[in-house]
Structure formats: C-alpha cells, structure tokens
Amino acid sequence: MNHARVTATASSCTYFQVGSVIVKNDRIISHGYNGTPKGFPEDCPDYFCGDPAQREEHHKFSERTTIHSEMNALLWAARTGISVENASLYVTLEPCHNCVKACVAAGIIHIIYDEPYDKYLPYSQEFCQKSGVELISLEELLKKEA
C-alpha cells in the first residue's frame, strides 16, 4: 500500500489524490494515479481548490475528464502487454463501482483499499462476492491476518 500512496502524490487533483498498484507474484506489475489523459490540461481548475462547497461541481468536471487510478493501472498493463489475471490491486481510496467492474472483468482477484469512499455503492461488495473477488479494506485485511 505504501507504493500506492507514493504513486498518489503524482496526481494533481485537489480533492482526492488516489494511487493504485497491481501486484502479481509479489511484484508490482503496474501502477496508476487519477488524472487526465496525456495532452489534457491539469485535472482541477483553480476555483475548485479543495473547497467542499465545490465538491459536486468538481465531481461533474472529473466525470468528464479524469481517469481513475485503478483504470490507469489496468490500462497501462494492457498497453504494455502485462496480464493482470489473478493479480491483486491496492488502492488508496475505496474504488467506485465502475472501477470495481473493470477490475473484475480484467481478472483481478483481490481489491484492497486504504480509505473508505463516502460515495461508495454497497452493491460493489455484492458484485465482487458474486464474481469471486475479494473487496476488503486494508484495516480489515490486517485484522484477518493478525
């Protein structure tokens, strides 16, 4: 998870700096952070600047332009010909449902997140269970392993 946290610092988003790493056979095979595609301007216009009153506007803006860290990690693996089948994804913020679906479809079998996301959709857990994928917080995982 420490590598995901470091990767997150590359994001220029003013609300959430999110990082992901994909691990297979105890090796990092891909990583990503939330941001816009190459050639786009920086993620967040100055007027957002982390202002809670602007959060909904920021969300609408980022839906149109920002690629989530999980997707960037999956896309980088695909572009470079790296299989993520039976790999684990570590992400600093609980993934949205679209990212969960993409991870499951790509063959990720464990999704471990650090911080809960307040817009989390409870059916992501059910979706993972039906797909045989573990979606678990780092805190829960550490308790299980203790």
101-122 pLDDT, tens per residue? 999 999 999 999 999 987 767 8
Q: Enter the pTM of the model.
A: 0.89
Residues labelled as active-site residues: 70
Confidence of residue 146 (pLDDT cuts 50, 70, 90): confident
Alpha-carbon dihedral 25, 26, 28, 30, rounded to 10 degrees? 30
Binding residues for Zn(2+): 68, 96, 99
In the numeric block, which tokens belong to residue 20? 């992901």
Question: Do the strands 88-93 and 19-24 form a parallel or antiparallel pair, or are they unpaired?
Answer: antiparallel
Q: What is the pLDDT of residue 58?
A: 67
Point out which residues pair with 93 in neighbouring strands. Answer: 115
Domain spanning 1-145: which superfamily?
Cytidine Deaminase, domain 2 (3.40.140.10)
Beta-bridge partner residues of 115: 93
Q: Binding site, residues? A: 68, 96, 99
Query: What CA–CA distance (Å, rounded) separates 14 from 108?
Result: 28
Q: Which residues contact 120 (CB under 8 A, 6 or more apart)?
A: 94, 96
